[in-house]
Structures are given as structure tokens and as C-alpha cells.
Chain A
Amino acid sequence: MEKKGTFRVKSGLAEMLKGGVIMDVTTAEQAKIAEAAGAVAVMALERVPADIRAHGGVARMADPAKVQEILVSVSIPVMAKARIGHFAEAQILESLGVDYIDESEVLTPADPDYHIDKWKFTVPFVCGARNLGEACRRLAEGAAMIRTKGEPGTGNVIEAVRHMRQMNEQIRTVLAAPDEELMTLAKAYGTPYQMLLAIREHGRLPVVNFAAGGIATPADAALMMQLGCDGIFVGSGIFKSGDPETRARAIVEATTHFNDAARVAAVSSGLGEAMSGMAIEEIPEHEMMQNRGT
């Protein structure tokens, strides 16, 4: 008997993406460039985060026709973003056959209080998190993969680093704590108690954790991998740069050979202009995407 949509099948696909780079694309043509550069998956969306940030307005799920176009253009998995709490967008994306849904703070949230009940779906979900509490709440809602939120569309890696370090520190605390301290830790972090037990059983987060939000260079990718991320999402960093093909390939190489500085140096050379990027301090509090959907 075949069982579809089990947690093992959902988290299993994320395991297969480890050590790889997932690239934001807005057209079939970009998806092909990403695949040829060695991306392990593409993320289909209407506008990359930098454009969403620049243009404002409500950012929604991509046009299904566009998602469809991307789905048939590549043989690697295709992910797509739905608004936080917008389970109808998620249902549409599932019916189109996307391989993973990103319930993403990059889009304008649709629900002020609640995330999607992801257990109801056969398609797996990835969600962003700034800390262990957010990660564990998303997992308890049925997410099968986690990524840092970072600060999308900035080309500035500092927030992804902050979130990864925060997550690592809290996981270390959970692993080292005596049994009687666990419940109080669960309360302090805002995590379901059972999730902390799962972390202790695995010795780590029980699912794959990728870096996302502000990664723009091969060195950024190598940094995040050395901090313990399982792989890399690149949003605006590739197709907002001067030479997307070369940069995409360079980030892929740096993600595989993150411990080999000479190799990362070689692929980083002469890449042309990176996306210009912005300082986090320049962003007004209410425009910070990472504060959405906690």
C-alpha cells in the first residue's frame, strides 16, 4: 500500500535538497538559467523580494499561469510562495502540482493571527523563522522544512546570521538542559514541549534548516553553511545582479565547497556587480518583513 503526504515523505524531499541552492525565479527563462547553474530547486514568484520592497502594495501568490509555465520548464523541484495564513492560495498551488509551498513573510500576510494548518495538505511546506520558538511553532503546524527569515530583498546577510546564531544558541541550550528545565525553556521560547523532546532525540532541529533572506554573494553562502545551515535560498541576489548566470553558478559552487576558501575565492572573482543592497537601519520598523507571522 502506498502512503502519500506522510511527514517522512514531506521532510524527505527537503533532505534531498541539502547542500544545494534554491533560487527565486519569476519566469520560465530564469528557471532554466537556475537549473543550468546547478540549483536544486526554484521558487516561483511574481516579483523578487527587492522589487516587492521597492514597489510596495499587496504582494500575493504568483499568477497560476506563470507557476504552470515554470513547472513545465524545468525538471528540478518547483516551490512557490503563498501568503501567511492564506490556505486558499496554498490549495491552488497544491492543485497546480508545485513540489513545496513557502508560507512566506515576503508576501503580504493574509491572516493577522494564524498560519496555515499545514497538516491538511499533501504538499510539504517550508516556513521562515527567526528563532527556535518560531521554528517549533511552524513545525507543530505541519511545516516539513525551516529557513531563516533574514531580511529579504536587502542583499544584507546580517539578519540571516542573527537568526541562525539565535537558533543554534537555543538548540544548544535545549540539548544541554537537565530534564526538569525543559518545560520552563519551552515556556520561555514559546515552543511546544513535544518539539523540544524531538530536538533532544535528534540532537538537532528535526527537519532541514536553510538560510534565507539577504544572501547575495558566494561568500555569504559559505558563511551561512559554516554556521550550520543545510542549504541556501537566494532571492533577489541572483537576478538583481549584473551577471545572473555566473553568480548563480558561483553561489552553487560556494555552497558545496563552503569549507574550501580557495575554491570560494576562485568562484567569487570577477563576478560583476552584486545587487546594491541596503542597511537594515534604513528600513522602517513596519516594513521589516521578518516581523510578520511570528
Chain B
Amino acid sequence: MIIGVLALQGAVREHVISLRALDVETRIVKRKSDLEGLSGLILPGGESTAMSLLAEDGFTERLKALADAGFPMFGTCAGMILLSEAVEGRPTGHIRAIDITVARNASGRQVDSFETLLDVEGIGSDVPAVFIRAPYIVTHGSGVRPMAVHNGSVVMARQDTILVASFHPELTDDRRIHEYFIEMVKETGT
């Protein structure tokens, strides 16, 4: 089982470290061809605008097709924005793999960035979560299961094989969320 980490830009290293700490083989993904043979993919935090501009032609469509076919993906922060159906203030979403609308930078500017502890459904309580200029989920479809809420906003959710979080589990040593995603990948069994 190999889990890829999208490496166009952003906090790639932290996800790789988290996966390796859980004995999972990883691969850096920059091009479509890097996706072959993967069992799952993490889309890290970073700047969603920059990442979307850097994706080669057809990359977004390829990820959309994979998502539709049940390929497990986990997006954190900017990665969540890339996976969402719609982005407030934008004409359209990017990969559109999960039926949510997100508001970018909903937690404010950097001086408002924070860390806290969350109760995450199906994972546990007191999960450390680092929010950095974080996007929030403002609306979601009926097929989407909210997993964590902070200040009234949904900040983690799952729809089938797509998992998203507003925050950065990879910036902490608590591996429960990565373990959860690895289990998702194993259940999909590709």
C-alpha cells in the first residue's frame, strides 16, 4: 500500500513524516503519472490558488475521475478547498470530489490563527488541531457526514472515500487522524 502526498506546494514533508511514523510507504506526487499504483492521496495545506495554477493539464480531471471511482483522498486546509464542490467567491470548485461549500480564510488573518482541541466523531476527543488562516465548511450536502465542529462551523467531514479537515493534524504529533485515513484506505482495498 502506497499513499501519495500531492507536492505542488505546501506542507508536504509533515504529511510524509506522519505517514512514515505509521509505517506507510509514501510517494511525492507532482504529475498525473505519479498517481499510478497509489492506494490513496493526501492533499496538504498550502495556498490553494498557487496549487491549482501549478497542476498540469488534465490533473484536476484525473483526480475527479479517481474520486468518482472511490479512490480515497484526504485534504487538509488548502487540500480541502481543492476537493470541495464549491468555493465562496469563486465561479467553481476545483476537483469537486465532496459536496461541500467552503469559505476561504474564514478563521481570519494570521493573527487570528489558533490551535485548540477538538472532539472528532469516530476518532476521539481532545484531538489537537492547528488552524492557519483556515477555511470553514459553510454548507454541505446530505451525503456528507460532519465529524467535527468548532465555533458553530463544520471543520472536518467525510463523504464516502473523501475526508477533509479545515485544520492541520500533520503539524502535531497526534497521529489519530492519519490512522483513521489509513484505515479508510485499507477498507477501500485497492
Contact = CB atoms under 8 A, between A and B. Distances in A.
Contacts of A17: 10, 46-47
B106 to A, nearest CB: 12
Contact of B109 (A15, A18, A99): A99
A5 B30 contact: no
B132 A13 contact: yes
Interface in B1-60: 7-14, 30, 45-47, 49-50, 53-54
Contact of A38 (B30, B50, B112, B172): B50
B114 A2 contact: yes
Contact of B113 (A13, A75, A98, A253): A13
A20 B111 CA distance: 21
B101 to A, nearest CB: 16
Which of B8, B12, B54, B112 gathers the greatest number of chain A CB atoms within 10 Å?
B54
B49 A4 contact: no
Interface residues on B, range: 35 or more
A35 interface: yes
A4 B113 contact: yes
Given A20-B47, A38-B54, A256 B8 contact: yes
Contacts of B9: 18-20, 40, 256
B10 A8 contact: no
A40 B54 contact: no
A122 interface: yes
Nearest to A39: B50
A1 B114 CA distance: 9
A87 B46 CA distance: 29
Interface residues of A, number: 37
A50 B47 CA distance: 28
A77 B8 CA distance: 18
A105 B109 CA distance: 25
Shortest beta-carbon contacts, A-B, top 4? A99-B110, A2-B114, A38-B53, A19-B9
Interface of B: 7-14, 30, 45-47, 49-50, 53-54, 77-78, 104-105, 109-117, 130, 132-133, 168, 171-172
29 contacts: A2-B114, A3-B114, A8-B130, A8-B171, A9-B113, A12-B113, A12-B132, A12-B171, A16-B10, A17-B10, A18-B46, A19-B7, A19-B8, A19-B46, A20-B9, A20-B47, A38-B49, A38-B54, A40-B46, A41-B47, A75-B49, A75-B105, A76-B49, A77-B47, A77-B110, A94-B111, A97-B111, A252-B53, A256-B54
Interface of A: 1-6, 8-9, 12-13, 15-20, 35, 37-41, 75-77, 94, 97-100, 122-124, 252-253, 256-257
